Amino acid sequence: MKKMWEGRFSEASSELLERFNASIMFDRELYEDDIAGSIAHASMLGDAGIITKDEASAIKSGLEQILAEINEGKFEWKIADEDIHMSVEKRLSEIVGKEIGGKLHTARSRNDQVALDFRRFVMRKNREISVQILNLIKTLLEISNSHTDALMPGYTHLQHAQPVSLAFHLLAYIYMFKRDYERFVSSFERGNFSPLGSAALAGTPHRINRHATASALGFYAPMENAMDGVSDRDFALEILFNISLFFMHASRLCEELILWSSSEFGFIAISDAYSTGSSIMPQKKNPDVAELIRGKTGRAYGNLMGLLTVMKGLALAYNKDMQEDKEGVFDSVKAILESVAILNEMLKTAKFNKKNMLSATERGHLSATDLADFLVREKGVAFREAHFITGKCVAAAERAGKDLSQMSAEELRGIDERITPDALAFLGLKASMDARKSFGGASSSSVLAQIASVQKWLGEKSSSI
C-alpha cells in the first residue's frame, strides 16, 4: 500500500502500526468539514494564482463527488489511508488524476487541516446544543407558568424547609440551563476563528489568503498565530466542560425527578412513553431516562478529564497525542444531544400531582420561620427567643398530631400570649410563601417577575438565532 508520506521510507509499515496509528475509524465523522475545508482552500489557491482556476474547479467537483459518495454510503474506508484527510485526498487523485489532485495540499498541512475540521465540527455542535437547551428552557418555563400556584415543600438536607411553588423550584433549573446556554454561545464566540493556513506550524511561503478561507468557512477571522492555530485545543476542552456542567445540572434535575416519581413523594407521573418496566416485577414503572442522564454525567466528566490530561505538558506544536482529542468529544456531544432531546420530551409529557405536593407541604411545619418572624416583626421579640417559642409551638403541634399551620389561635396563645390571633394569617402555607417578596424570593409576585424576565430573554434569543 502506497503512503502519501512514504518518500523517505525504504520499508513498508507494519500492519500493527497501521492499525495503531490510524484515526479513520473515528475521524471520518469529520468528512463534511474536511471536504468543505478543502473546497475553500482549493478555491483560495485558484484565486491567489497558486493553482489555475481550472485546476481549482476540477478539484472542487472532485470533492463534491466524494461528498456524495460518502453520503450515499458508496465510499470505501480503508485503515491504510490512515485518516479522513488522506482518505479524501487519495480518492480525489483517483477522480481528477494525480497531477491535479496532488496540488490540493499546497500551502497546507494535516496539522492545520485537522485543527480546522475539528474546530468547525465543535463550533457547529456548540450551536446545535445551545438551540436544544433553549427548547428545554421553553418547556420548563411553560411548566412553571402553569404551576405558579402549585405549592410544594422547598428542601434543605432533603428535609422539608419552607413552602415554595413548583414554578419557583423549576425556575432554579431554568437559570442553570440559561447559564449553560450562555456558555456554549460564548465558547462559540471565542473559538470561531480559523486555523487553516497555519500549515505545519509556522505558516507558508505561498501567498495564501487566510482571511478568504476563514470567511468562506463561516469563521470570524483567521487565528493570529500559526503555532497557536495548530496547537490549540481549548475549543474542544471548552465544549467538554460546558457539556459536563450541563450534565451536572441535568443530573440534579433527574435525581429530583427520580425521587418525585417514587411512591414516597408521588409528585410526578412520568408518562409511559418515557418509562420502562421490569422484566420480573409486573407492577414496576421505572424512571430509566432520568437515571441514564444522571449516569451519562460520569462519561461526560471522564471525557473532559481525559482530554485535559492528554493536553497537559505537550510541547508545541502538533503532537500525535492530539489525535486522542476526538473520540471523547464525539461521545460527549452525542450524549448531550440525545439527553437534552429526551429530557425535553419527558418533561413535556410528565404530569405533576398538585394534590400530593400540597399534602407534603402540610407536613413538617414549613411555616415555623414565619411564626418566629411574626414575633420579631409584630411583637418586638428578639429572634433567638422567637425561635425558642416557635420551637415550643412545633412540639405542641407534634403532640396534637397536626402541622403548625393547622394549630388554632387558642392553642398557640396557650404557649405564649404574645402569639395573638393575627399570627394565623402568617402561618398559612401560601401566605408563608408569598411573604418571601425579597428580590429573587419564592413569593408569587417574585416568581411572576422571574418568569417575565426569562420570557423576555427568550424572546431576544429566539430572534437572534
Interface with ligand ARG (CB under 6 A): 23, 27, 83, 110-111, 114, 318, 320, 322-323
Three-state DSSP state, 407? coil
Task: For the CB of residue 115, give the shortest distance to ligand ARG in the complex, in Å.
Answer: 9
Q: Which is nearer to ligand ARG, 201 or 424 (CB)?
A: 201
Task: For the CB of residue 23, give the shortest distance to ligand ARG in the complex, in Å.
Answer: 4
If you write DSSP's letter for every residue of 305-339 in order, what string do you get? HHHHHHHTTPPSS--GGGGGGHHHHHHHHHHHHHH
**In the beta sheet, which residues pair with residue 221?**
193
Q: Is 153 within 8 Å of 214 (Cβ atoms)?
A: no
d(CA 231, CA 227): 6
Q: Which is nearer to ligand ARG, 276 or 323 (CB)?
A: 323
Q: Which is nearer to ligand ARG, 110 or 160 (CB)?
A: 110
Task: For the CB of residue 110, give the shortest distance to ligand ARG in the complex, in Å.
Answer: 4
Alpha helices in 206-322 (DSSP H): 210-216, 226-231, 234-260, 288-311
Helices 444-464 and 166-191: crossing angle in degrees, nearest 10, is: 30
Q: Which is nearer to ligand ARG, 28 or 211 (CB)?
A: 28
Q: Is 157 a catalytic residue?
A: yes
Cell of 408: 388554632
CA 106 to chain centre: 38
Q: How many CB atoms lie within 10 A of CB 275?
A: 18
Measured in Å, how far apart are the chain's first and last C-alpha atoms? 48
Give backbone dihedrals phi and psi of 352, rounded to 5 degrees, phi first.
Answer: -90, 135
Give backbone dihedrals phi and psi of 351, rounded to 5 degrees, phi first.
Answer: -115, 130
Q: Which is nearer to ligand ARG, 331 or 434 (CB)?
A: 331
Task: For the CB of residue 107, give the shortest distance to ligand ARG in the complex, in Å.
Answer: 16
d(CA 385, CA 304): 51
Catalytic residue (one of 157, 438, 463, 464): 157
Task: For the CB of residue 198, give the shortest distance to ligand ARG in the complex, in Å.
Answer: 12
Three-state DSSP state, 155? strand
Task: For the CB of residue 301, give the shortest distance to ligand ARG in the complex, in Å.
Answer: 23
Task: For the CB of residue 202, give the shortest distance to ligand ARG in the complex, in Å.
Answer: 14
Residue 12 CA: distances (Å) to CA of 24, 82, 184, 409: 19, 14, 45, 94
Q: Which is nearer to ligand ARG, 151 or 239 (CB)?
A: 239
CA 44 to chain centre: 36
Task: For the CB of residue 336, give the shortest distance to ligand ARG in the complex, in Å.
Answer: 22
Catalytic residue (one of 278, 359, 408, 453): 278
Cell of 226: 500559526
Helices 110-145 and 234-260: crossing angle in degrees, nearest 10, is: 30
Q: Which is nearer to ligand ARG, 230 or 243 (CB)?
A: 230
Residue with cell 425521587: 259
Q: Which is nearer to ligand ARG, 163 or 229 (CB)?
A: 229
Backbone angle region of 312, left / alpha / beta, with phi > 0 → left and psi within -120 to 50 → alpha:
beta
Task: List active site positions.
Answer: 157, 278
